[in-house]
A and B are shown apart, each in its own frame.
Chain A
Amino acid sequence: MYTAADLKKGLKIAIDNEPYIITHFDFAKPGKGQALYRTKMKNMITGSTMDRTYRSGETFEPARLEDRTMQYLYKEDDHYCFMDNDTFEQIHISEDAMGDAKNYLIDNLQVDVLIFRDKPIGVDVPNFVNLRVTQTDPWVKGDTSGSDSKPATVETGYVLRVPPFIEEGELITIDTRTGEYSTRVKG
């Protein structure tokens, strides 16, 4: 069981027996008032979204999902294809249901496919993934303009801010929970 204090982006909870994923979370507290936990969440089956505000002390059941380790194969139209490593069974997940996970999918990445009542409804990617930088402007050594980050595109097409010293072709680690640059992979 979760309490309101456990709510955060990415948490999956059950409401009326259906799985929901928190897509936005923030803590609010109007001056001298009580703590409020503001969420936007998405129904993982229908894709419909809603805003909910909770108070301290409210409790939630975790979403009852089965997860199976699968390998990412390819994207076809607006579907992503994965294969079960043990049974070689292949499944498809819509782009909409992928959420931010699609930013990190490279060939052969191992992910947890989430199953609800025998139907795949989403994926969990590892907390950290390594992706290669395919485009970023070069760093001019001695640049004192004070720019402390620059945009970079990685091999999945995802764009994020990176330190100025990162060059094209380098491998970087991204924290998938925040979508932010974490560190440079040496070698």
Chain B
Amino acid sequence: MPGSWPLCRRKKALVERGAIFNRVRGFFQEKGYLEVETPFRIPAPAPEAQIDAIPCDGWFLQTSPELCMKRMLAAGYPRIFQICRCWRAGERGSRHLSEFTMLEWYRADADYLVLMEETEALVRGAARAPVINYRGLSIEISQPWERITVADAFRRYAGTSMWEALEAGTFDELMVERIEPELGTARPTFIYDYPASLSALARLKASDPAVAERFELYIGGVEIANAFSELIDPVEQRRRFEAEALERASSGKLPYPAPEKFLAALASMPEAAGIALGLDRLVMVLLDAGSIDEVVAFTTEEL
């Protein structure tokens, strides 16, 4: 049975993965969410500067179901969730697969603070234990989770200001090397209020428009989810997409067509919040797996 060893070895993990997926679906069904499916192959991904879609027969494989799901929100589906495959070119590492499984959910008449609470409840339901043991850490999940602004995290862990890091072009390096390893080690951490320039689809914070209402969830130093209060102003959204497209062009990246149908639908979208959660990563953390490879049936290299 050459090549079957990884599959045999992962049997326990894959059985547990299936059980976690069932609990996740159960959570949303109980809360009145509709499970939806949107096409994987799309003509126009959201033009984000650092996310590269894989071309597919003239269109692209989705990097996230975000735009189609927001069109559904705009059309009167107020609570929707989806578990689907997404593809991102060139992403491969111990926490990355170029093809991976995303859980996204959108909720009308909610903001990112509501989603923080809902995410806590979801993960508690999926974990079914008060503590997550991950890589030697005991992460307490039954008490309220830590919330820290991105600005505070830079001051506390990187010894610099978020704005200076952005100016100096070291934001991402400091985040990966100094900040991420400190997040979610005793309790899960929501790190929130990102610089507006790093939040192409998020609403700006009314009390401080230099930042956007965006958060990320970290458990045991692993980035699990990204969420925002959604931007619903089509004019502002078009302007931000143009800025992202320019950044893509200046670094020689593949251009995407503007997602016109999404921009048109935005005008009728209600106030809403949405979140994308890497389900493989959540399973990794819940099963104390050192690599994403251990929680999927096949990695790219094993095909």
Instruction: Give the B-binding residues of A (Cβ under 8 A).
Output: 5, 25-36, 38, 53, 56, 146, 148-149, 161, 163, 181-183
Check A27/B172 contact, CB under 8 A, given A33-B50, A183-B5.
no
A-B pairs with lowest CB-CB distance, top 4: A27-B93, A33-B172, A30-B175, A28-B176
Tell me if B176 and A38 are in contact (CB < 8 A).
yes
10 A-B pairs in the complex with CB atoms less than 8 angstroms apart: A29-B50, A29-B91, A32-B194, A33-B175, A35-B91, A56-B90, A146-B12, A148-B8, A149-B9, A161-B9
B33-57 contacts to A (CB < 8 Å): 48, 50-51
Contact of A29 among B9, B96, B194, B200 (CB under 8 A): B96
State the CA gap A41–B176 with chains docked (Å): 18
State the CA gap A31–B176 with chains docked (Å): 10
State the CA gap A133–B71 with chains docked (Å): 59
Please name all residues of chain B whose beta carbon is closer than 8 Å to the beta carbon of A30 when the two chains form the complex: 172, 175-176, 180, 223
Taking the closest CB of chain B, its distance from the CB of A45, in whole angstroms, is 26
Tell me if B216 and A31 are in contact (CB < 8 A).
yes
Please name all residues of chain B whose beta carbon is closer than 8 Å to the beta carbon of A148 when the two chains form the complex: 8-12
Please name all residues of chain A whose beta carbon is closer than 8 Å to the beta carbon of B95 when the two chains form the complex: 26-28
Since A32-B50, A183-B5 are in contact, a sample of 17 more A-B pairs with Cβ atoms closer than 8 Å, ordered by chain A residue number, is: A25-B93, A27-B91, A28-B176, A29-B50, A30-B175, A32-B48, A32-B199, A32-B226, A33-B175, A35-B90, A35-B91, A38-B176, A146-B12, A148-B8, A148-B12, A163-B8, A183-B3
State the CA gap A33–B200 with chains docked (Å): 12
Tell me if B177 and A53 are in contact (CB < 8 A).
yes
Tell me if B9 and A163 are in contact (CB < 8 A).
yes
Please name all residues of chain A whose beta carbon is closer than 8 Å to the beta carbon of B2 when the two chains form the complex: 182-183
State the CA gap A92–B176 with chains docked (Å): 40
Check A31/B223 contact, CB under 8 A, given A181-B5, A183-B5.
yes
1/0 per position for B1-24, CB-CB distance to A under 8 A? 111010011111000000000000
State the CA gap A182–B51 with chains docked (Å): 34
Chain A residue with Cβ nearest B6: A180
B154-209 contacts to A (CB < 8 Å): 171-173, 175-177, 180, 194, 198-200
State the CA gap A181–B226 with chains docked (Å): 37
Taking the closest CB of chain B, its distance from the CB of A55, in whole angstroms, is 8
Chain B residue with Cβ nearest A27: B93
Chain A residue with Cβ nearest B52: A35
Chain A residue with Cβ nearest B3: A183
State the CA gap A181–B199 with chains docked (Å): 44
State the CA gap A163–B8 with chains docked (Å): 8
State the CA gap A27–B223 with chains docked (Å): 13
State the CA gap A68–B287 with chains docked (Å): 45
Taking the closest CB of chain A, its distance from the CB of B278, in whole angstroms, is 10
Check A33/B12 contact, CB under 8 A, given A53-B173, A183-B2.
no
Please name all residues of chain B whose beta carbon is closer than 8 Å to the beta carbon of A29 when the two chains form the complex: 50, 91, 96
Please name all residues of chain A whose beta carbon is closer than 8 Å to the beta carbon of B92 when the two chains form the complex: 27
State the CA gap A28–B200 with chains docked (Å): 20
Please name all residues of chain B whose beta carbon is closer than 8 Å to the beta carbon of A32 when the two chains form the complex: 48, 50-51, 194, 198-200, 226
Chain A residue with Cβ nearest B2: A183
Tell me if B94 and A26 are in contact (CB < 8 A).
yes
State the CA gap A24–B52 with chains docked (Å): 25
Taking the closest CB of chain A, its distance from the CB of B141, in whole angstroms, is 21
State the CA gap A28–B2 with chains docked (Å): 31
